[in-house]
Amino acid sequence: STDLTSTVGYDSIIQHLNDGRKNCKEFEDFLKERAIIEEKYGKELINLSKKKPCGQTELNTLKRSLDVFKQQIDNVGQGHIQLAQTLREEAKKMEDFREKQKLHRKKIELIMEAIHKNRNLQYKKTMEVKQSCCCFLALLHQGSPLPLFSSPFLQLFLKLAQTKSALEDSDRSYQQNVTILEKICEEWQKEHIKACEFFETQECERINYFRNALWLHVNQLSQDCVQNDEKYEEIRKSLEKCSIEKDVDFFVNLRRTGSSAPAPVVYENYYNTQKNASAVRSPAPVPISRRGPLPTPTSAPGEPDYATVDGYSLV
């Protein structure tokens, strides 16, 4: 600014730096809120996997698949809790970075505040001395024609002599103050340039740190998705080992009561007690043959078919 005492440019820079610090604080708060959500979601998943029954009476391979399913859901919940902790750590790093910049910038701001104050005081003092010189000069040029050696003329002559002497002193003081002000302004300009360079460096560091923090945050979310997919892949692998025939055979073998049908009921003649009477015999029991092949399960319209891990999809 052409106004020597103006700080409009400097104030604009400080305002921009404060806005940048505020933006960092907003991202920091965003990470903290996301951490709360992730932690709550993780705990809910863990509680769901531990407390909610899910096929608890299943047997054999399908039971193992369901056990893996619940265990991996628990692992997903643990992963979200770990992600919440990671987000809190990143928020703390952002806070430390923000406070460090604030502390460093405060030192420069105190220097600039002091030099602005010194410059403005010297400028004000210089202008006051200048004004005093102008007043003395105006008095020096005042006067009216009076008779020579008259009493009023002598008084005016003495007054003018005093004013001239005061004017010379004031002018010297004015010159000295201008010289001092010039030196202060040179110092101020140097410090102002140094401050601007420091602020520019800080702003570059802030933008770079902010960009990297956001990039890292997105990578963490992507990594969490990859880890979750690995857990879900374990469920799919377990489901691949789920065998309908094995589970049915397992149940049959577990609950089997024998391989023969119950013995037939034989008629005994208690009414005819003749010795020659023979009891009516039933035909010999027929052994039970092995059951036929298991029926092939069919999917209802709109129901996803069973898929393998390789190239799995919902058809």
Domain membership flag for residue 128: yes
Domain span at 94: 13-144+155-245
Rounded distance between C-alpha atoms, residue 127 and residue 181, angstroms: 11
User: What angle (nearest 5°) sits at the alpha carbon of residue 86, between those of residues 82 and 87?
Assistant: 115
Q: Which residues of the chain have pLDDT under 70?
A: 133, 135-164, 167, 270-291, 299-315
pLDDT tens sequence across 40-66: 999 999 999 998 888 888 888 888 888
8 A C-beta contact, residue 115 and residue 193:
no
State residue 281's pLDDT score.
55
CA dihedral of 2, 6, 12, 14, whole degrees rounded to 10: 130
In a domain, 92, yes or no: yes
Residue 311 lies in a domain: no
294 in a structural domain:
no
pLDDT at residue 45, rounded to an integer? 93
- Say what the pLDDT of residue 41 is: 95
For the chain, the domain total comes to: 1
Residue 74 resides in a domain = yes
Is 260 contained in some domain?
no
> Tokens 């799919």 label which residue?
236
Against a cut of 0.75, is the pTM above it? no
Q: What is the pLDDT of residue 200?
A: 94
Helix, strand or coil for residue 285?
coil
pLDDT computed for residue 297 by the predictor: 73
> What's the token pair of residue 255?
């609950």
The confidence score (pLDDT) of residue 169 equals: 76
pLDDT of 147: 46
Residue 200 located in a structural domain:
yes
Residue 34 lies in a domain: yes
Q: What is the CATH number of the domain that holds 212?
A: 1.20.1270.60
Backbone angles phi, psi at 24, to 5 degrees: -65, -40
The beta strand positions in the chain, using DSSP E, are none
pLDDT for 313 = 45
